[in-house]
Amino acid sequence: MAVVGVLALQGSYNEHMSGTPNLLLFSRFSRVSATCSLVIPSGSVWAALRRIGVKGVEVRKPEQLQGLDSLIIPGGESTTMAKLANYHNLFPALREFVGAGKPVWGTCAGLIFLANKAVGQKLGGQELVGGLDCTVHRNFFGSQLQSFETELSVPMLADKEGGSNTCRGVFIRAPAILEVGSDVEILAECPVPSGRPSITIPSAEGVEEEVYTKDRVIVAVRQGNILATAFHPELTSDCRWHRFFLDMDKESHPKAFSALSLSSSS
Ligand code: GLN
């Protein structure tokens, strides 16, 4: 059976794997919900990996990456996650995992982890795993209070269950991708919300600052074995992103899937 690791240092790792809501993320999200009318899915619809019949394994130490077919780096708070990853000496092993071509999916803070470059960081920034040829802005959409949900157009999802080419994007203090390299495939873009606080981006010289003026911004990409989403599919009842990731896993580890029969229940 395929074994998918989920980095379990902090953030929404439970929602990817077992379905038990992470109370810290949940309580923050609920506070936002009260002011922004976000719809929080009930706990019963979470548990994305379990629902598609895949075993998820919590990863906290470098040796726990051994034997995994693929890895999810969840959303949460990337500075905290980086500090914990440093404490457990995880960065070299994570870079090796990504470099080995095994499928890795970063959601939200996980996207930040995987980016080669992050801007919008205070206090000198943080260590990144890297591998994804893009520049990400850590809090592109603003603070926790600017969290929002929207319907996203994702053409590649049209091949999956139901044929719909849209999905619900849950953006929590979300990052966005400002630019990508030529090997990066853009899977989804999001209209920039009109009330979003303006942001400043260091110029190439690192001195002047400019404001992002485009009306759309990149929120989901794939580069080879790396998938990254600025939003949280694990907080919705839609399993298509997890299935897509599993298909990437199947492409690179066909044997691990020989005994796996996927349930078609959503
Ligand atoms: N913007 C957050 C950070 O910098 C990520 C938010 C999230 O993962 N929901 O870590």
Determine whether 15 is exposed, middle or buried from the number of CB atoms within 10 Å of its CB (0-12, 13-18, 19+): buried
- The residue whose two tokens read 């606080």 is 197
Q: Of 264, 253, 262, give the one whose Cα is nearest residue 70.
A: 253
For 95-148, the pLDDT digits (tens) are: 999 999 999 999 999 999 999 999 887 656 789 999 999 999 999 998 888 999
Distance CA 88, CA 25 (A): 22
Beta-bridged to residue 171, according to DSSP, are: 148
Reported pTM: 0.85
More confident residue, 65 or 205: 65
What is the mean predicted confidence (pLDDT) over 171-186? 96
**Of all residues in the chain, what percent are helix, strand and coil, respectively (each to 5)?**
30, 25, 40
- Cβ of 175 below 6 Å from ligand 1: yes
Predicted confidence at residue 152, as pLDDT, reads 97
More confident residue, 265 or 128: 128
Question: Average pLDDT of the chain?
Answer: 83
What is the mean predicted confidence (pLDDT) over 177-182? 96
Which residue's CA is the closest to the ligand 1 atom numbered 5?
109
Distance CA 106, CA 108 (A): 6
231 Cα–ligand 1 center, Å:
10
Predicted confidence at residue 237, as pLDDT, reads 85
Predicted confidence at residue 254, as pLDDT, reads 56
- Cβ of 128 below 6 Å from ligand 1: no
Active-site hit among 108, 134, 167, 239? 108
- Cβ of 108 below 6 Å from ligand 1: yes
Distance CA 56, CA 58 (A): 7
More confident residue, 213 or 24: 213
Predicted confidence at residue 48, as pLDDT, reads 81
Is 232 among the catalytic positions? Answer: yes
In order of their start, the domains of the chain are 3-257 (3.40.50.880)
Active-site hit among 15, 77, 149, 234? 234
- Cβ of 75 below 6 Å from ligand 1: yes
- The answer to whether the beta carbons of residues 120 and 138 sit under 8 Å apart is yes
Predicted confidence at residue 241, as pLDDT, reads 94
Please report the atom of ligand 1 found closest to the CA of residue 109: 8
- Both structure tokens of 104: 């890795």
Please report the atom of ligand 1 found closest to the CA of residue 79: 10
Distance CA 51, CA 167 (A): 18
Is 108 among the catalytic positions? Answer: yes
Distance CA 132, CA 38 (A): 30
101 Cα–ligand 1 center, Å:
25
45 Cα–ligand 1 center, Å:
23
Amino acid (1-letter code) at residue 17: M
- Both structure tokens of 63: 């040796």
Distance CA 95, CA 196 (A): 34
Can you tell me the ipTM of this complex? 0.96
Predicted confidence at residue 264, as pLDDT, reads 36
For 17-70, the pLDDT digits (tens) are: 865 554 444 444 444 443 333 444 444 445 688 888 888 899 999 999 999 999
Predicted confidence at residue 44, as pLDDT, reads 42
Predicted confidence at residue 256, as pLDDT, reads 53
Distance CA 266, CA 264 (A): 6
Amino acid (1-letter code) at residue 260: L
Highest-confidence segment of 40-54, 92-106, 190-204, 243-257: 92-106
Task: Find the helix or strand (DSSP H, E) in which 217 lies.
Answer: strand 216-223
Q: Return the SS3 of 220.
A: strand
More confident residue, 181 or 14: 181
